Amino acid sequence: SIHLRTSVHNRFIEGACHSASDIGFPGDQLNRTDARTATSLKEGKRMDIKTYSRIPHDIGNPHEEPWAQTNAYILHDTAEWRDLNLKFVLSCWRDYILIVEKKYDRESALKILAYFYKQSETIVRNALSEWDIDEDGMIENSGIADQTYDVWTMSGTSAYCGSLWLAALSCVSYMAEELGKDGSSLYFEDVLARAKEAFVKKLWNGRYFKFDESSSNDGVIMADQLCGIWFLTMMNQEELLSEKQITSALKSIYAHNVKEFAFGEMGPVNGIYEDGSVDISSIQSEEVWTGIGYSLASFMIAKGKRNEGFDTARGMFEKCWNRLGLQYQTPEAIYEEKYYRAIGYMRPLAIWAIQHALEMRTI
């Protein structure tokens, strides 16, 4: 959620300030390592539980030792997830401009930002060196489900991870500029320019951004294709892509993912073809993720598409509250018929982004 008013988050920021002052911040997980090994359930690959300079997937299992032993999730090696670390970079810049700048004096705020930047720069430089295979400034997926859609395979440049990469480059450049690191800021701006050119060239088809570069996914419209651009919009930052491209993509998603699925009464299905047939290549492509639906609704509202945004959100609300009886156990995913998955999930808290979008439109 864009609104972060919890005491936990305030303690994180205060801890960052201490860390910047060399007091030490025990909540910093990025550079922790855990040399214990496990076998990933999906690929059957031996992996370290926690890799250096990677954000953990989770903070641990209550049956073990949370905080000290992280990454209880072992379906994949999340050190290779393209989106997880990038979202941390976006969160750092978001927290700085929406919380830190307003709460702290200038000197303290810059100390916190310096801490954020140090972690973010490490993440971005590592991603560039390890995941930009063709050296065009844009990262590529590895042909497995190497992101939060953890059974939905992406190959080459993907709209979802690619848009997050563009946003992360933009945010780390902003951080460097704010800290007076002009050389680094210009470097990341140059990478961003090349990455944006590659992203558009590889994926833009004149109506929306293609799911990825693979021929097997040709024609799939992903509801979450502009996740990174949504994040920038919620921060009131430059959106990087043209207004025409963003508007056209949202129009396509509303017309197909929302209105052509379940008679337009359930919110956006994750993946659908232009002919109205649902992508059934994985269970996640045929699901509606409530959190994604609410974030998409907020994106539409922020872009002046108020009716479309509330219509998108209405479908999920009606399904969860009035038909499934899950008023206080909102699931991660719902299916067109009979099933839902993962009740009490955190992603639906993105509903607060709708409130944020409404407030943005009235300022």
Instruction: State which of 48, 63, 80 marks the end of a domain.
Output: 80
Same domain, 43 and 182: no
Same domain assignment for residues 151 and 289:
yes
**Which residue, 116, 109, 112, is CA-closest to 90?**
116
Tell me the C-alpha distance between 354 and 267, whole Å.
14
What is the spatial distance between Cα 152 and Cα 288, in angstroms, rounded to a whole number?
14
Instruction: Give a yes or no: residue 193 inside a domain.
Output: yes
Q: Are 133 and 180 found together in one domain?
A: yes
- 1 in a domain, yes or no? no
User: Quick one: three-class SS letters along the chain?
Assistant: CCCCCCHHHHHHHHHHHHHHCCCCCCCCCCCCCEEEEEECCCCCCEEEEECCCCCCCCCCCCCCCCCCCCCCCCCCCHHHCCCHHHHHHHHHHHHHHHHHHHHCCHHHHHHHHHHHHHHHHHHHHHHHHHHCCCCCCCCCEECCCCCCCCCCCCEECCHHHHHHHHHHHHHHHHHHHHCCCHHHHHHHHHHHHHHHHHHHHHHECCCCECCCCCHHHCCEEECCCCHHHHHHHHCCCCCCCCHHHHHHHHHHHHHHHHCCCHHHCCCCCCEEECCCCECCCCCCCCCEEHHHHHHHHHHHHHCCCHHHHHHHHHHHHHHHHHHCCCCCCCCCEECCCCCEECCCCCHHHHHHHHHHHHHHHHC
The answer, as to whether pTM is greater than 0.75, is yes
Could you give the number of structural domains in the chain?
A: 2
279 within a domain of the structure (yes/no):
yes
Query: Which amino acid belongs to residue 227?
Result: C
93 and 64, same domain (yes or no): no
Q: Does residue 141 sit in the same domain as residue 37?
A: no
Q: Which domain holds residue 123?
A: 7-18+83-362
Single residue among 39, 58, 80 that ends a domain in this structure: 80
Do 254 and 108 have their domain in common? yes
Residue where a domain terminates, one of 58, 80, 102: 80
Cα angle 270, 276, 281 (rounded to 5 degrees) comes to 50
The answer to whether 229 and 166 are in contact (CB under 8 A) is: yes
* Phi, psi of 34, rounded to the nearest 5 degrees: -140, 105
| Same domain as 99, residue 181 | yes
Give me the pLDDT at residue 121, please. Answer: 97
Mean pLDDT for each 10-residue chunk of the chain (363 residues)? 38 49 54 93 93 92 90 94 96 97 96 96 97 98 96 98 99 98 98 99 98 96 98 95 98 99 97 97 97 98 97 94 89 93 93 96 72
- What's the pLDDT at 333? 96
Nearest to 292 by CA among 210, 212, 211, 223: 223
Whole-angstrom CA distances from 23 to 16, 18, 290, 332 are 10, 5, 40, 38
Identify whether residues 64 and 95 lie together within a single domain. Answer: no
Tell me, yes or no, whether 218 and 115 share the same domain: yes
The pLDDT, as a whole number, for residue 12 is 47
Type of residue at 47: M
Question: Domain with 206 in it: what CATH number?
Answer: 1.50.10.10
Query: Same structural domain for residues 51 and 36?
Result: yes
**Which residues lie below 8 Å from residue 16, measured CB to CB, with a gap of 6+?**
25, 112, 115, 116
